[in-house]
Structure 1
Amino acid sequence: MDSIKDAVKAVSLQEILVIVIIGCVVYWTLFYQDRLHSGIPTAGADPKAWFKVASARKAFLVNGKGVIQKALKDYTGVFQVVTATGTKIVLPGRFVEEIKNNSQLRLPDVIHKEFFASYSAFKPYASSQTACIMTEMVRTKLSNSLGNMINDLADETNCALDEIFGSSGEWQTRNLKTEILHLIARLSSRVFLGQEMARNEKWLNISKSYTVDSFIAIRMMREWPAALRPLIYLFSPECGRVREQVRTAGRLIWPLVEARRRSKRKALEAGLPPPKARDSIAWMDELADGAECDVPCGQLILSVVALHTTTELLTQALFDLCRHPAIIQPLREEVISVVGDRPLNKATLYNLRLMDSFLKESQRLHVGDITTMQRLALSKVILSDGSTIPRGAKVVTTTETMVDPTIYTSPETFDAYRFLKMRQGAGQENQWQFVSTCSEHLGFGHGQHACPGRFFAANETKVALCHLLLKYDWKFSDNAQRDGTDVTFGTEFESSLEAKVVLRRRNEEIALSV
């Protein structure tokens, strides 16, 4: 007995930790290794490897985009890849129309899994009652109020740009994405929470940091085997930061919610109509109708979706202005002609047709991921070519139609006028608008799960771009800046936080202030 005690004392904490980790890895290998779907070819797998799944997973982690691009050439139909979060069945773009409205292929369930929403730090990504309320709020309340928000967006843009970029007529170098992230945080918060919160630095910092840091933490979690993720979640600084951000958001948002509810109760008790508010807190309360709703988590996911999507869209658009400076003056002239001495409104934004085309073309060439339309199969689905998607399988489609030469002339070439010209075809006026979705352009997805906030994102981007075009000159200082604007994560690619542009204040031809 004494010899056993002596042996236990001799084992260091580090040795115990190593044994635990090895045990977890072995357990994961035996019981939680990614399973392949039978009858579907596996992209990236080394046919000579002993562990086919492991070889496919390694190939995908090293170069996911390349694996999928090669598979699209090698296979005529569906195939599967082994990603950091499990096996996924990949459907070529021709299947988009077939699955776009299939009720057995759901988006919320796969988002819950892909973004680890069962962990408290990632709770805003959860497929829950709050998520359903948020989706309905964006689809109805937000979209129906777009016309009333343009003045607020224009006012906040006018105020924010003076603070962000200043009024110096001298050329200055800036990290573009960082500055645009702050601008979009201001604009989105103005609409979702009102002017006071749009200028509350604590809230702005939380909304920005959670948008960036939650993606960093999620990508880090994906790199670890499933069995080790609970440990990584508990001890990694990346996840610790995000947990604290969720708590801070609660401390900032719940007092607003409670104050709003107290005012409503007092008014009703006095026999008076409750005060009306036109913001996301009021909309969430109305749609919840007494049901449980985590308002801070709802506000965080609103921030993530608005900031991530619109920041990327506007940043890439400004990079494209710098790459193709010849389009700057035509865009300015359109704004001057369409807006004139009128305030920005729904009609003027709609009539900025060249800008609409420019943004859609920029999005086409910077779609953000070689895959899209993530879904989870709730039951077995049989495709038109006879392929079977098993129940419980994760599914994605590819975005190769965005650069398909049978659809787009010179698809690799940037053409700001492309969609303006396509809209001039018979019956094509609506199909090629920026906010329109179709299987040939998947920038906002397609079908029943297409991005419901795309109408708000389009208005927000256009208002900001009007100001940025008329008030500032833009350029790259050298070719290194021109070519170093993107970074890649697996199949995802986005603008770099380190990419820089050079800008200076100019005298705008017309006043865009409210």
Structure 2
Amino acid sequence: MITLLSPHYKAQEVTKGDLVIASTALGFTIGFGFAFYFTILTTWALQVQFLLQIIVNRCGILLTHKNKAYRLKVLVGVLITAVNISVYCIWIPARLQISERYIHINEWWDRCEKVIYLIVDGCLNFYFIHIVRMNLIVHGLTKYRRLTHFNMFIIGFSLSMDVLIIAMMSLRNTFVYMQFHPLAYIVKLHIEMAMADLIGKIARDKHCGVIAEGTFSSTIAGVNIDHAISIADCEDYKSSHNTLKDFSIHSAESLDSHYPTMTSTYLDTVLGNPQYPVFCAISLLGIFILKYPFSDNKKKYPVLNPKEPFEWSNRRATRDFIANSGSLLVKARALYKNQPYWAHTEWGENLVIPPEFLDSLKSNRQLDFLIPSGDDTHQYIPGFDPFKGDVGITTVINKYITKTLNKVTGPLSEETSLAMQQVFTDSTGNVPPNLSWRRNTTNGDILPEWHAIQPQRDLMRIVSRVSSRVFMGEELCRDDEWVRVSGDYTLSAFTTADLLVAYPRWARPLVHWFMPECKELRRKLNDARRCLQPHLDRRNAIKREAAAQGEPCPFNDSIEWFEKEYAKHDPAICQIGISLVAYHTTSDLLMETLFNLCQHPELLKPLREEIVNVLSEEGWKKSSLNNLKLMDSVVKESQRLRPVLLGAFRRQALADVTLPNGDVIKKGTRVVCDTTHMRSSEYYKDAATFDGYRYLKMRQTPGQDKHAHLVSTSSDHLGFGHGLHACPGRFFAANEIKIVLCHLLLKYDLKLEDGVIPTPTPSGFSYFGDGKAKILVRRRQEELDLESVET
């Protein structure tokens, strides 16, 4: 027999248990092939059509208007026939594995048509209950009340068979589902036949009635009508009409003749008018087409973590990505290479583009960063207000901070020295509590011992204080309360943002009101406002006094810069906003650099020699920091191996955009580039190995020098992004990191605790450093007095 199977057909493995279950319906099973699938589908189609027409006929004999019953019968027949034809055209080619397209379409349509059957079945059964109540029970035939109660239970059992069928479609082996389907519908057919027989028995049983001999009165459509029905009359009905159909027809004709003004219920109108169910069917089909568009570019590219068939939400896929993003992105890089692909991420559905596309797209102004960034950082949620200042912060950084780098190098060094004395301790005899020190047995001097610091926390304290020296001035940066409050908010903001991504985007504006973390975040923001206000009041008083004396404004910091640029602004939000940009990423990169130096102590000596040589000759200048080339290479290498994000170049298309391969992405599409290539052997030699000299060697290679600097961006290294929206504060951050490293490396020995290897953790597109790992530090005698270096 011709099977019509595809040459690439792969039969599913069938176990003995599968055969037992599958043969329950027919007592035997049929081998795979066209005959198998055609037989199964034809059986399904006939069973579904017969089953639903039985219910339609049951409803029709009680309807008062025969044309309504006819329309209902035709409507259900046409609808089910259309669905069955579509199943023939899709299901059989998919099962024969004719093409991937049919297989993909069938994955959702097979479930869709089962749901359509379920809905139609349920509507018809409940409509029948409604007719019985309105046309019989309401008018005194109360013996049918118990019938309706029992029928409700049987309807639930019948519909559960449909649910069982849909559930069995999720089994790995569809062989069981396909051959078990007829059994489920045989059960449903038996239920319908049994119900018909039960209704006939009730109609013929005179002892089932509870209506007494006499009359009942009914007012319908405002008309009072007395209609006598006696038990004797029922006996006449039963003797002359032995079937439920005859009894029901007579009852319907009687009701029709006595109640010509009876109005239809709302449900009658819906099911009686073919426009409504047709409209519902078209709407349902439209929803699926919108959800699974065939002509859209989305189908052109593969999906890294697709939704399961009949899975409306991408929540499961998103959670899977958040939990396994590291391995998923590496897998995608190997599978798709230079091909774009879709991914369900905590940032929504994104088109992940290869790094080879970036140089062509980096200057495209139709690809916007602020829209997706604002959405992904929850700027629409109270408490995340500082994230709204992206445009203002970029303006202030570009217009003021970057231009003052040469002037602030000395103050940054001064503040770093003070911050380290406070956080890491100094050998001056001022021993902070809970730290281990010992005395020199010769002269009794206090000598430092190794003690642990927590880099994530302690480096944040140093960076926030040093950055605040430039952003807020000398007074505010040394306010311990402000440093604490701003640092706490920064850590809480990023932690809370990561918690929110576990919820669907539509639910976040509601969920955040019930999250303790969001409430705490709003409290910390208010604490920052209260902490900053006294400083603002003093500044305003000093400015008024200077203006009265005709003197210029004595302040030159970001508080003043924001006032110049924006008349209406919240100073606390602006300062917290700029700290979010400066503190978190800077301290994170500094922490990762220290981890790498602890694991490669052979770099400490050449780094210290470079610091001494450069600073002793050139002093604290922007140019001298640029000449710390080995340090620059070490930091850039640390960023290569663990960038703060696994996804860079996050953009949203403001209009249709043409990709370098000629494809067009639609307006509103979000794109991102994963950073796994930065650790790929396709781009770097010994890519998985930390090489502190990697970018120093690249500087010496003709044509590669411009990409070897820490602050330079390229498609090969996306640590600071790339293109129009590359990090504007990277120049300040690079200088700050180098200044902190100069003080730290000359003044302190450092190492990891025994047996500790810091391990980064991917979570979605975030790539977190090891926040639990600690570094042991010990004060040492520096080769160069950094406080005496000229500025």
Which TM-score band applies after superposition, normalised by the shorter structure? 0.7 to 0.9
**2:511 paired with 1:252:** no
**CA separation in 2, counterparts of 1:277 and 1:55?**
52
**Contact kept in structure 2, 1:194 and 1:279, CA below 8 Å:** yes
Task: Answer whether contact 1:477 1:502 (CA < 8 A) is retained.
Answer: yes
Q: Out of 348, 354, 361, which is 1:92 matched to?
A: 354
Report how far residue 467 of structure 1 moved: 0.6
Q: Give the match for residue 155 of structure 1.
A: 414
CA gap of 1:356–1:58, structure 2 versus 1, over 3 A, is: closer
1:512 CA displacement: 0.6
Alpha carbons of structure 1 residues 34 and 348: separation in structure 2 relative to 1, 3 Å: farther
Q: Residue 46 and residue 225 in structure 1: after superposition, are their counterparts in 2 closer, same or farther (change >3 A)? A: closer
Paired residue secondary structure (1:503): strand
Query: Is 1:278 aligned to 2:556, yes or no?
Result: yes
- The alpha-carbon deviation at position 186 of structure 1 amounts to 0.9
Q: Which residue pairs with 2:590 in the alignment?
A: 314
State the structure with more CA Rg: 2
Give the Cα separation in 2 of the matches to 1:34 and 1:159. 59
**Residue 310 (structure 1) shift:** 0.6
CA displacement 1:307-346 (0-9 Å, x = unmatched) = 1111011100110111111111110111111112764222
Q: Is the 8 A contact 2:329 2:676 kept in 1?
A: no
Shift in CA distance, 131/160, structure 1 to aligned 2, threshold 3 Å: same
Count of aligned positions:
476
Q: Deviations over 1:385-421 (max 9, x none)?
A: 1333221122111223312434322111111111111
SS at match of 2:607: helix
**Which region of structure 1 is more displaced relative to structure 2, 255-264 or 108-117?**
255-264
CA distance in 2, matches of 1:458, 1:472: 21
Question: Following the alignment from structure 1 to structure 2, what is the Cα–Cα distance between the partners of residues 371 and 350?
Answer: 28
2-side partners of 1:302 and 1:195: how far apart? 17
- Kindly indicate whether residue 777 of structure 2 is the aligned counterpart of residue 503 of structure 1: yes
Q: Distance in 1 between matches of 2:529 and 2:518?
A: 17
- Cα contact 1:401–1:439 (8 A) shared by 2: no
Determine the C-alpha separation between the residues in 2 that align with 1:393 and 1:195.
Answer: 45
Distance 1:429 1:365, change over 3 A: same
Check the 8 A contact 1:341/1:511 in 2, yes or no.
Answer: no
How far apart, in 2, do the equivalents of 1:71 and 1:404 lie?
13
**709, 714, 721: which one aligns with 1:433:** 709
CA-CA distance at 1:254 after TM superposition = 4.2
Measured against aligned partners, the alpha-carbon deviations of 1:233-292 in whole angstroms (never above 9, x if no partner) come to 112110011101221222233444454445445544x4714323221011111222x3x2
Which amino acid in 2 is paired with 1:82? H
CA distance in 2, matches of 1:47, 1:236: 30
Paired position in structure 2 for 1:123: 385
Which range moved further: 396-405 or 101-110?
396-405
- In structure 2, how many angstroms separate the alpha carbons of the residues matched to 1:230 and 1:46? 24
Percent of aligned pairs with the same residue? 36
Deviations 1:421-460 (A, max 9, x none): 1111224333311111111111111111010000100110
Write the distance in 2 (CA, Å) between the matches of 1:73 and 1:250.
49
2:342 is the alignment partner of 1:83:
no
Aligned counterpart, 2:492: 213
Match of 2:196 in 1: none
- Kept in 2, the 8 Å contact 1:210–1:242? The answer is yes
8 Å contact from structure 1 (residues 49, 55) kept in 2: no
Which runs of 5 or more structure 2 residues have no equivalent in the other structure? Answer: 1-286, 427-436, 438-447
CA distance in 2, matches of 1:341, 1:420: 21
CA contact (8 A) 2:372 2:670 kept: yes
Higher relative contact order (CA 8 A, sep 6+): 1
Indicate the SS of the match to 2:673.
strand
Q: Tell me if 1:351 matches 2:610.
A: no
Q: State how far apart, in whole Å, the 2-side matches of 1:404 and 1:39 are.
A: 26
Separation (CA, whole Å) in 1 of partners of 2:537 and 2:587: 31
1:138 equivalent among 386, 394, 397: 397
Q: For residues 59-103 of structure 1, give each alpha carbon's deviation from its aligned partner in whole angstroms, at most 9, with x where no partner exists.
A: 313312222222222224111111234211111111111221110
SS of 1:180's equivalent in the other structure is: helix
Q: 1:165 to 1:259 in 2, by over 3 A?
A: closer
Measured at CA, do residues 431 and 227 of structure 1 come closer, stay the same or move farther in structure 2, by a change above 3 Å?
closer
Q: CA deviation at 1:190?
A: 1.0
SS at match of 1:82: strand
Counterpart-to-counterpart distance in 2, 1:218 and 1:35: 30
Letter in 2 for 1:425: T
Q: Which residue of 1 aligns with 2:329?
A: 68
User: SS at 2:398's partner residue?
Assistant: helix
Check conservation: 1:176, 1:315, Cα contact below 8 A. Answer: yes
Q: Does 1:222 align with 2:481?
A: no
Q: 2:303 aligns with which of 20, 38, 42?
A: 42
* Residue in structure 2 matched with residue 10 of structure 1 by the alignment: none
AA of the residue aligned to 1:316 = E
Asked if the contact 2:343/2:351 (under 8 Å) is kept, the reply is: yes
Structure 2 counterpart of 1:98, one-letter code: S
The farther-off stretch of 389-398 and 448-457 is: 389-398
Could you tell me how far apart the structure 2 residues matched to 1:389 and 1:402 are? 25
Q: 1:54 to 1:351 in 2, by over 3 A?
A: closer
Report the AA paired with residue 248 of structure 1. Answer: D
Equivalent residue number for residue 19 of structure 1:
none
Contact 1:64–1:490 under 8 Å retained in 2: yes
**Aligned pair in 2 of structure 1 residues 143, 223: CA closer, same or farther (>3 Å)?**
same
Deviates more, 1:137-146 or 1:344-353: 344-353
Distance 1:485 1:201 in 2: 31
1:105 aligns with 2:367: yes
Contact 1:34–1:53 (CA under 8 A) maintained in structure 2 = no
Which shifted more, 402-411 or 218-227? 402-411
Note if contact 1:101-1:448 (Cα within 8 Å) is conserved in structure 2: yes
Distance 1:35 1:287 in 2: 47
| Residues 94-103 or 337-346, more deviating | 337-346
Q: What is the one-letter code of the residue matched to 1:277? A: F
TM-score when scaled to structure 1?
0.87
Distance 1:248 1:34 in 2: 45
Distance in 2 between residues matched to 1:265 and 1:506, nearest whole Å: 47
Deviation at 1:155, TM superposition (A): 0.6
Match among 440, 448, 462 for residue 183 of structure 1? 462
Say which is worse superposed, 152-161 or 242-251, in terms of deviation: 242-251
The CA deviation at 1:477 is 2.2
CA contact 2:323–2:763 (8 Å) conserved in 1: no
Q: 1:231 & 1:406 partners in 2: Cα distance?
A: 45
Cα distance in structure 2, aligned partners of 1:35 and 1:367:
35
In structure 2, what is the Cα distance between the partners aligned to 1:485 and 1:276? 47
The residue number in structure 2 matching 1:22 is: none
Letter in 2 for 1:506: R
